[in-house]
Amino acid sequence: MKVVSLFAGCGGLDLGLVQAGHKIVHASDVDKDCVVSYNDNFDHEAHCIDVKELKGEDLPEYDILAGGFPCQGFSVANKYRSADDKRNELYIEIVRLLKETSPKFFLAENVPGILSLEKGAVVEVIHNEFENVGTEDGGKGYEVRIEKLNASDYGVPQNRKRVIFLGISKEFDKETRERMFAHFPPVPTHGDDYEKRKVTLKDAIGDLPEPNSKLAERIPNHITTSHKVKINGYIGNRKLDWNRPGPTMVGRGGGTGGPVIAVHPNLKRRLSVRETARIQSFPDGYVFSGSKSSQYRQIGNAVAVGFAKALGEMLLKIESER
- When computed from its CA atoms, the radius of gyration of the chain, rounded to whole angstroms, is 20
CA 109 to chain centre: 7
pLDDT at residue 231 in the model: 55
The four Cα atoms 181, 183, 185, 191 give a dihedral, to 10 degrees, of 160
Does the pLDDT at position 206 exceed 60?
Answer: yes
Task: Say what the pLDDT of residue 232 is.
Answer: 54
Beta-strand pair 161-169/230-231? unpaired
Most confident residue range from 65-79, 138-152, 258-272:
138-152
Sign of the dihedral through C-alpha 288, 293, 294, 300: positive
Angle of the 32-39 helix axis to the 292-301 helix axis, nearest 10: 80
Q: How far is it, in rounded angstroms, from Cα 111 to Cα 83?
A: 14
The CATH number corresponding to 2-194+303-319 among 3.40.1350.10, 3.40.50.300, 3.40.50.150, 1.10.10.10 equals 3.40.50.150
Distances from the Cα of 212 to the Cα of 71, 219, 222, 224, 266, angstroms: 32, 10, 7, 7, 17
Model confidence at 83, pLDDT cuts 50, 70, 90, reads: very low
Would you give the DSSP letter of residue 68?
-
CA distance 169 to 318: 12
- The pTM for the full model equals 0.91
**Beta bridge mates, 103:** none
> CA triplet 174, 178, 184: central angle to 5 degrees?
145
* Three-class SS state of 286: coil
**CA-to-CA dists, residue 158 to 110, 185, 242, 313, angstroms:** 16, 19, 11, 20
- The residues annotated as belonging to the active site are 71
- Residue 218 binned pLDDT confidence (cut-offs 50, 70, 90): very high
- The model's pLDDT over 53-73, given as tens digits with 9 standing for 90+, comes to 999 999 999 999 999 886 444
pLDDT at 75: 42
Each residue's pLDDT tens digit, 228-242: 666 554 444 566 889
Residues 13-43 have pLDDT tens digits of: 999 999 999 999 999 999 999 999 999 999 9
- 276, 247 in Cβ contact below 8 A? no
What are residue 109's DSSP bridge partners? 164
**Per-residue model confidence (pLDDT) at position 72:** 45
Write down the pLDDT at residue 59.
97
Where in the chain are the domains? Answer: 2-194+303-319
Please determine, for residue 5, whether its predicted confidence score (pLDDT) is greater than 80.
yes
CB 115 within 8 A of CB 151: no
What CA dihedral angle connects 74, 78, 82 and 87, to 10 degrees? -60
Query: In the predicted model, what is the mean pLDDT of residues 291-315?
Result: 96
Phi then psi for residue 44, to 5 deg, are: -90, 165
